[in-house]
Chains A and B, each alone.
Chain A
Amino acid sequence: MADDSHVTAPKPPIPSPQPSPARRERGLCNPILLSPTGGEGRVRGPVKSAQSGLVRIGERPAPAYWRSVDELRDGPAAAGEFPGGLGKASGSKAAEELTRRDFLSLMGFSMAAVSLAGCRAPVQKAIPLLVGSDQIVPGIARHYATTCAGCPSACSLLVKQRDGRPIKIEGNPQSSLFGGGTCATGQATVLSLYDEGRARGPSWQGKPTSWQELDRRVLDSLRAAEAARGRIVLLSGTLTSPSTRSIVQAWMRRSPNFRHVVYDPVSLSALRKANEQSFGRASIPHYAFDRARVIVALEADFLGTWLSPVEFARQYAASRRREGQQPLHVQLESGLSLTGSNADVRLPLPPSAIGLAALGLLRRVARRAGAGEVPEGPEPFDAKRLDAVADALWENRGQSLVVSGLQDVSVQIVVNALNSLLSNVGKTLDLARPSLQRQGDDAAMAELVDDMNRGRVHTLILYGVNPGYDYSDAAGFLSGLKQVALSVSFADRLDETSSAVHALCPDHHFLEAWGDAEPVHSHFSLSQPLIAPLFDTRAAQESLLRWLGEEKPDYYTYLRDFWRKELYLRQVAMKGFDAFWDRSLEEGVFVPESTEAAGPAEETHFLGGWKAAAQDIVEGSRRAQAGPRGGPYEVHLYESVALRDGRHANNPWLQELPDPVSKVTWGNFAAVAPALAARLGLENGDVVALKSRRGQLELPVLVQPGQAARTVSVALGHGRTRAGKVGLGVGANAFSWAATALGVRRYSASGVTLEKTGRKDPLACTQTHFSMEGRPIALETTVEALREEAAAPREAEVLPSLWAARPGGEHAWGMAIDVNSCIGCSACVVACQAENNVPVVGKDQVQRARAMHWIRIDHYYRGPEDNPASLHQPMMCQHCGNAPCETVCPVLATTTSSEGLNQQVYNRCIGTRYCANNCPYKVRRFNFYDYTQNPKFDFNMTSPLGRMVLNPDVAVRSRGVMEKCSLCVQRIQLAKNDALQGKRELADGDVQTACQQACPAHAIVFGDLKDPESRVSQLRQDPRHYRVLEELGTRPSVGYLKKLRHPEET
């Protein structure tokens, strides 16, 4: 197991075909990039259907897609078409042993129970407001602009408030940065508000106390600290709020012993450090992916988790929609990330080789730029493909972008040198107006932990951080915490850190609080409370002001004053501060006119210093070559799209969200390459022990196509020990492996051994649920193929129908999903869950293929298992005109409406599940349990607090009924009513489905197909448009736009 010699040697590229003239014109291509398998590509084992060419149904060829390694090797039947039957899964033996007599007696009992239940009139109370308000009309939802605090990206939101409760997060389309999109985590933050794990009020050493008592103790201790000249430290996460930063500055002015340390669990501090050395600015640039024609990302999951994914997804998708002008996206990474799965060209490399690859790129670009020699070093990858990438970069100078998420200052300096030589600075990345989204300083944090352990810190205030869980040396931090005279935490619950502090001063949830944010320099947004605080909590800013000595601090007044002083004068449009404030609050965002007017920033001067960095990388690799310690494997740590750094671990929506790439729910895993798994005899769910100097991790294996050969990827954010009932003990905590080296925390480790433990821990993975039996579901094309089609248009085939034509209604609702824009981020999945009261079912039920999500994102692979191309396809009820589900329902519980909706009538459904079996799209979901009453499903719907998030306009389904996507019919009906009230016609865009609203890539368009001018009708005319399995004659109302493969890729 320990010897693993075959991996690093590069293999010669497979000769590739000559580029066509059309490709040559574009000037972006290089034949090497076209190589279908790349350098190391090969297919192992017998391959039946997936690789055997085209699968044909009707007249349409389907590309050879596969969804799991087993499917690639053995064909699609392995996965099974109808998972989730009753079988053993009913959970009780009774169901299996039920006799006819038992059945009859149960039926008799049910009849009697129904009659009895009907005899008594249920008394329901209706309690109106005592004093009416024109702001609150029961049953009418209002949207308020605020700012997300789910992560430091600080996206602008519009939050739907219904009867005084925030129930749904939506993106704020007014925001020029985020463009109305959200991410899955942001969508789920509304559920965190109603989390039973939240602290109910302030406590002192674990015992509930009053705010007055707590303030007295803290103020006493602060006075003692002043007297003893003890150090007072505020340890916070990235503070995007300018007004909060100004409170921190007030603390600094007051006390010379005050320090502010910023700590991000997943930090970008190497990037800031490198920029300080390269450009003289310790800041993070504001990137413009939409201006780049070539994007090279080194271990940066910028569409999933890195820095500002919602903004980057918007930019990225917008540039992908420029037909014929699609950017080339090259990803070099160790584990298959969401971003990597969208890349046109992807090179899987172990973390240790990515720096060398960056250096290789610099070597090639510097040679072309005549910028001097770059030290030679090993090139443990396909050199010719790197040549091609460098060519593409060089040909697009000023329109390219190289980003790296590696926590390595030298690599970041090399990346800076690349961007500088390519004249990208000031064009695709802006240092003059930097991003303020990740400000963590790893060196300062390491120093603080050291100081704490030496007893040099008197008072420690923790704000929005949980280092007892997510710091690499959590034990060191917690032991240091014991040396501190007073420790205070603003955490929202008793977590790993705050259960060890003296004073817990719970902060509001952001939906209960005032606030502001400046995610990017001079792009401001406001937060406002959507609900009065549910518990006895207090804004952290108010606590900080109180301890500054203010008697009756009011953060709202402070915030207004701050905006009056700092921002009001930066605009001229609004006269009077109140008008300015009201408009900013209404719009949620404010960009000073000077920012808007300014063109691209001036080029920031590159200070050089890259030669030393390059030398550093070369020497580092030599050292690693010379003395390999420990085992042959490397571990790559990453944030998962759903749980991120683990702060939302108690959120059941996020725990059950299938990971966009692996589709694993409820827990993390060790992702290994198929080749490695085959060699070590590992299967999905085999528990392995990873050992290094940093300790031992035991995790189930996931065989992940596209994983770098001898690298194991492990998601952070799992294995919480004090999070709440949902997040407790799900997965394993890998943060201890993120060791600090040279002042930055690294999210990779080498010299790791991997041992099979012999145990099994089956994963709850939805990737292989609902096999499509090799049918042509997901389709792709190229610009060239489209051009050929346009030159020789085929006549549209008229399919005969057995059914009589139905009389149409006033509208014909339809949807078009651009698979080319969809990045697979899964924001829509959580948005749908929130909008439609979709229950959480837990790990055991997901393993039985009973996840209830109405929309899922199918992840298809194509090509060799060690580096396949990916395709993400959102799949939900296709709302067939001739629905196969409809004809088999014995009770007419599912029918097609006059407006083209396939309607599911819950109260009519008797649960035969014939419809689900007959659905070719596998989109129907059955309620095997009563998820709102059954205490086994203790997630959020079983408690009165958790139920506050439910949408009152959508019925909560009971046990034994089928459900599925309704195309948000409640939103359609509401929009129709609004039009009726306003005596106007419905306009295109009046109805937005929840998935459409959430999509940061704007991949989903919904509208009326009867209106030829509507966007969805226009998209139907697109040559890329197709309907899934149209040849079956189902006439779906939902259509897709084929994935457009980059000419470099196919």
Chain B
Amino acid sequence: MRLPSILAVATIVGAGASLGAWQLSRVGVHQGYAPGQPIAFPHNVHAGENRIPCLYCHYAARTSRHAGIPPASVCMNCHGMLEKQTTEIAKLKEAVQQNRPIAWVKVHNLPDFVYFNHSQHVVSGVACQRCHGPVEQMDRVRQEAPLTMGWCLDCHRERAKLPTLGIQRAALHMTHGSKPTTGLDCASCHY
């Protein structure tokens, strides 16, 4: 009589505590976040159907820590010539005509205490989809990965073991040193 009730209470408390702990571990994790944008830009049309390379618009990802949202002038490289007109394209053209920058909503937010550099990953041959998911299939972009530190390190630890890195490093004429730099040090990202 007594034992089962104690067990039941313990189970409930235990389940509650684990649920709470799990919830706490998800604090600040926004996997699946897919906010609406001022202009409903369909990545599936651009990157999917029309096969525009990611780095055509997000050119800063090649050299900078930020991938950058393309300036409206980059959109107008094509849309200045295309006849297709929708309400969303009209919003873009209106912004350009009125000289008004577009305030997009950031989808992938890292905390301020993390330094992440896109160019380092792009030049090392990490595909955009590896972190951002199949963007070329998304109508509205959502955060595919959890973007937690453990998730970053999963990949970093894997790549530390990959033999291809050695080949890649040889291709880069990097002979100095023995251990591939995969950034497992805290100070690779936290400073």
Chain A residues proximal to chain B, CB less than 8 Å? 114-115, 117-118, 121-132, 137-140, 807, 809-811, 895, 897-899, 901, 903, 905-908, 953-956, 966, 969-970, 973, 976-977, 980-981, 983-985, 1010
Contacts and interface: CB of A to CB of B under 8 A. Distances in A.
Given A130-B73, A137-B68, A810-B179, A970 B104 contact: no
B95 A809 contact: no
Nearest to A972: B187
Contact of A973 (B117, B173, B184): B117
A983 B63 contact: no
A897 B191 CA distance: 13
A898 B186 contact: no
Given A895-B186, A954-B191, A127 B177 contact: no
Nearest to A123: B105
Contact of B27 (A117, A138, A897): A117
Contacts of A126: 69, 103-106
B71 A966 contact: no
A786 B92 CA distance: 73
Given A898-B184, A907-B111, A139 B69 contact: no
Contacts of B101: 127-130
A983 B124 CA distance: 11
A1007 to B, nearest CB: 14
A749 B185 CA distance: 60
B96 to A, nearest CB: 7
Minimum-distance CB pairs A-B, first 6: A118-B27, A810-B177, A132-B71, A903-B187, A139-B64, A897-B185
A138 B115 CA distance: 15
Given A138-B68, A139-B60, A907 B113 contact: yes
Given A140-B64, A985-B176, 11 more contacts: A121-B35, A126-B105, A127-B104, A137-B63, A138-B66, A807-B179, A809-B185, A810-B176, A895-B186, A903-B191, A907-B190
A903 B185 contact: yes
Nearest to A1011: B176
A807 to B, nearest CB: 8
Contact of A137 (B64, B104, B113, B179): B64
B176 A969 contact: no
Contacts of A984: 173
Interface in B123-165: 123-124
Contacts of B5: none
B79 interface: no
A907 B184 CA distance: 16
B191 A955 contact: yes
B24 interface: yes
B74 interface: yes
Contacts of A122: 109
Given A132-B71, A137-B64, A966-B191, A121 B104 contact: no
Interface in B13-32: 23-24, 26-28, 30
Nearest to A985: B176
A130 B71 contact: yes
Given A118-B28, A123-B35, A125-B105, A130 B100 contact: yes
B174 interface: yes
Nearest to B73: A131
Nearest to B66: A139
Interface of B: 23-24, 26-28, 30, 33, 35, 60, 63-66, 68-74, 95-96, 99-106, 109, 111-113, 115, 117, 119-120, 123-124, 172-174, 176-179, 181, 184-188, 190-191
Given A121-B33, A137-B64, A901-B187, A977 B119 contact: yes
Nearest to A953: B115
Given A131-B72, A139-B66, A897-B186, A124 B109 contact: yes
B102 A138 contact: no
B188 A973 contact: yes
Contacts of A983: 172-173
A129 B119 CA distance: 20
A809 B176 CA distance: 11
The majority secondary structure among interface residues of chain A is loop
Given A897-B187, A973-B115, A810 B181 contact: yes
Contact of B174 (A140, A895, A954, A985): A985
B109 A114 contact: no
B64 to A, nearest CB: 4
A969 B113 CA distance: 14
Nearest to B124: A980
Contacts of A129: 71, 73, 101
Nearest to A902: B187
A128 B96 CA distance: 12
Given A118-B27, A128-B104, A898 B68 contact: no
A114 B101 CA distance: 34
A363 B9 CA distance: 101
Nearest to A980: B123
A62 to B, nearest CB: 33
Contacts of A807: 179
B102 A128 contact: yes
Most A-side CB within 10 Å, residue of B26, B66, B70, B178:
B66
Contacts of A137: 60, 63-64, 68
Nearest to B32: A121
Contacts of A138: 60, 64, 66, 68
A125 B179 contact: no
18 contacts: A127-B102, A130-B72, A131-B73, A132-B70, A137-B60, A138-B66, A138-B68, A139-B64, A809-B185, A903-B187, A905-B190, A954-B191, A955-B112, A970-B191, A977-B120, A981-B123, A985-B176, A1010-B177
A130 B181 contact: no
Contacts of B65: 139, 953
B104 A809 contact: no
A807 B160 CA distance: 15
A898 B185 CA distance: 7
A898 B184 CA distance: 9
Contacts of A953: 65, 115, 191
Nearest to A968: B191
Given A122-B109, A128-B101, A898-B184, A970 B115 contact: yes
Contacts of B172: 980, 983
Contacts of B99: 130
A531 B17 CA distance: 54
Contacts of A985: 173-174, 176
A879 to B, nearest CB: 11
Contacts of A908: 186
A976 B124 CA distance: 13
B73 A132 contact: yes
Nearest to B33: A121
Contacts of B60: 137-140
Nearest to B35: A123
Contacts of B63: 137, 140, 981
Nearest to B120: A977
A127 B64 CA distance: 16
A140 B102 CA distance: 21
Nearest to A1010: B177
Nearest to A122: B109
A222 B126 CA distance: 68
A128 B191 contact: no
Contacts of B66: 138-139
A131 B71 CA distance: 6
A130 B187 contact: no
A128 B72 CA distance: 8
Given A118-B27, A139-B66, A973-B117, A127 B103 contact: yes
Nearest to B117: A977
B148 to A, nearest CB: 12
